[in-house]
Amino acid sequence: MFKDNRKDIHDLDYGYLGIFKNKIKALVIGGGKVGYMKAVGLKKQDIEVAVISDRFVEEFNNQNINLIYDYFSEKYIDRYHFFVVAVKDYKHIKETLDKNLKLYVICSNSFDGNLFVPMIVKEKGYTLSITANGSPFGTRFLIKKVSNEIKKYDDFMVEMKKIREKVKGNLNKNTILEFIYSDDFYFFYKKEKHILVLEMFFGGFYD
C-alpha cells in the first residue's frame, strides 16, 4: 500500500502578513506559461513585478511587464523583496534565496517555498484573503461562498471607516467603535437611521 508521507494538510503552518503593495518589488524567475500567469497575477494586484529568463513565451508581448533577458544569479537578490520561482530546476535558486533570507514561492512544489500567495478579493470596504490549505480549486470554491456572504457589508464598512476617522481624537473612541461595528448598528444602517442613533448616544461628533 502506498503511503502519503507528507505533513498532514491540517498541520501546515500557514500564517498571514499583509503588505503595502506600492513598497514591494517582486521577481518572477522563468519566462514560461507559469511565469507568465504569476507575473500577470502580481501585476493585477498592482505589485511592481519583473520577469527574468533567457527566453519568454509570446504572451508576454501583450503585457507591459519588465522582462530581463538573463539567467538568475545572486546579483539580483538585493533588488527585490520576494521571488516567484517558475522553473522546474530550482534547487540552486532555492539555496541562494535561503542563504539571503528571502521570501519565495516555488511553483512546481509549493511546499518547498517559504511563502504562498492566497487568493484575494478586494472591495471598497475590505480585502479578503483566503486559502484552502494547498488546494487552488478548493480556494476558488470557498472564496465564492465567503464573498457572496460578506459583500453585503461592503458599503457599511466604507461608511464605518468615515466614522472611525472622525473619532480618532474622541475620548470615547473605543466605546464608539465597539458600538458601530455590531449587528445592531448594521440594522440601523440598513434603515438609514444610523446617524440619528449616533446622535442619540454620542452627540454630533461626526458633523
Domain ranges of the chain: 17-117, 152-202
| pLDDT above 50 (res 40) | yes
Residue 79: what pLDDT?
Answer: 95
| All cell numbers assigned to 199 | 446622535
SS3 call for 137? helix
pLDDT in tens, 103-126: 999 988 877 887 777 777 778 888
Residues 6+ apart with CB under 8 A from 60: 31, 36, 39, 51, 67
Cell of 64: 507591459
72 C-beta neighbours (distance < 10 Å), count:
22
Cα separation, 175 vs 72, in Å, equals: 54
The region of weakest confidence among 1-5, 44-48, 117-121, 158-162 is 1-5
**Does residue 205 register a pLDDT over 90?**
no
Task: Summarize pLDDT for 68-78 with one digit per residue, the tens.
Answer: 999 999 999 99
Decide if pLDDT at 171 tops 70. Answer: yes
> Which H or E element spans position 68?
strand 66-69
Rg (Cα) of the chain, in Å, rounded? Answer: 23
pLDDT of 138: 84
Mean pLDDT, the chain, whole residue set: 86
More confident residue, 28 or 171: 28
Q: What gap in Å lies between CA 68 and CA 72, rounded to an integer?
A: 9
Strand-pair partners of 27: 50, 83
129 contacts 119 by C-beta, under 8 angstroms: yes
Who has greater pLDDT, 137 or 163? 163
Mean pLDDT of 13-20: 72
Nearest to 165 by CA among 178, 175, 177: 177
CATH T-level assignment (fold) for domain 17-117: Rossmann fold (3.40.50)
Q: Kindly report which listed range (126-130, 162-166, 196-200) carries the lowest average pLDDT score.
A: 126-130
Mean pLDDT for the stretch of residues 55-76: 93
**The most confident of 28-32, 101-105, 125-129, 203-207, by mean pLDDT:** 28-32
Quick check: 11 pLDDT over 60? no
Q: Are 113 and 106 in contact (CB under 8 A)?
A: yes
pLDDT: is 171 or 51 the higher one?
51
